Structure 1
Amino acid sequence: MTRQSFETAVEIRYRDTDSMGHVSSPVYYDYLQSAYLEYMHEILQTPKREKLPHIMVKTACEYVAQAKYGEKIVICSHITKFGTKSFEMEHVMHLDDEDRPVVARGSSVHVMFDYAKQATYPVPDEFKDKILTFQGSL
């Protein structure tokens, strides 16, 4: 079965670039977080003004090629693994042109979190089902 990714488009702003003219490395973390938020709000059908039931606890990013002001990046995000109380995601960032070259690869880890109790909890089966229904597989 083919895995489907959630796609988030980001227009590169001038302020996203550094003195060398390409996207500054910390900005990719903003792109990664935006992609995660878009995916989760969409899949859970949660208004953006509401908190998600999980928190991001770890991120990493590998820079592959340059992206510059005026270009558009498409971030393909998908969950790769479910743990007991957590899940892991991959975020592949492509330039939005016909060749779709990869400019960065990111990963993130998220933990289910109850804000009222200030405690983690197991990943609900309902959440896993929604992800697998959309993605098709991990």
Structure 2
Amino acid sequence: MVEHKKIVTKIQIRFRDIDAMGHVNNAVYLTYFEEGRKEFVRSLFGIVQPDEYNFILAHIACDFLRPITISDTVILEIWVGEIGKKRFDFIYRLLKQGVDENDSSICANGRSVQVFYDYQQNTTLAIPAHIREKLTEYSGEATADR
């Protein structure tokens, strides 16, 4: 696996995230991915207000591997996959931590496609060079194993 930087975020599981089967509802996993995107752009670009976002979400997918319950300690890893002229991928790994911090199991893997966008002109844009440079620092491909 190619070494690259990742943003790691602890996920706070809320009571409302739990469904009738006693585990986190599948739709909530995408909210956890959203929290990762929020932390990524805050950490790298200082973006905290929604109107400062310069990309739109074009596609998102999730592979559910293990259930998460309210008592689990969960972290999300996020990094960048493929970078194109106008688009880039975020890669997500949702991990349940065991008793030992080094003991974790993958609960979900995901990928989303973001497209650079000018909201004033309602058009896509090429990724600016300074942003591409920062994204490249976090670029790598997801693997099924840890």
Do the structures match in fold with TM over 0.5? yes
Q: CA RMSD of the aligned region, Å? A: 1.4
2:126 corresponds to which residue? 122
Letter in 2 for 1:65: R
Letter in 1 for 2:108: A
1:79 corresponds to which residue? 80
Q: Does 1:11 align with 2:12?
A: yes
SS in 1 for 2:52: coil
- Larger mean CA deviation between 41-50 and 22-31 belongs to 41-50
Q: How does 1:48-127 map to 2 (within 5 A)?
A: 48=49, 50-97=51-98, 98=101, 99-127=103-131
What is the CA–CA distance in structure 2 between the aligned matches of 1:49 and 1:28, rounded to whole Å? 20
- Larger mean CA deviation between 106-115 and 49-58 belongs to 49-58
Structure 1 residue runs of 4 or more that deviate by more than 6 Å after TM superposition: none
Count of matched residue pairs: 136
SS in 1 for 2:33: helix
What is the CA–CA distance in structure 2 between the aligned matches of 1:81 and 1:37, rounded to whole Å? 19
Q: CA deviation at 1:49?
A: 5.1
2:36 corresponds to which residue? 35
SS in 2 for 1:117: coil
What is the CA–CA distance in structure 2 between the aligned matches of 1:105 and 1:21, rounded to whole Å? 21
Q: Deviations over 1:22-73 (max 9, x none)?
A: 1110000100111112101221112335431101111000100111013231
Letter in 1 for 2:110: G
- Asked if the contact 1:60/1:106 (under 8 Å) is kept, the reply is yes
1:2 corresponds to which residue? 3
TM-score, with length taken from structure 2: 0.86
TM-score, with length taken from structure 1: 0.91
- Asked if the contact 1:41/1:52 (under 8 Å) is kept, the reply is no
Unaligned runs of at least 5 residues, structure 2:
141-146
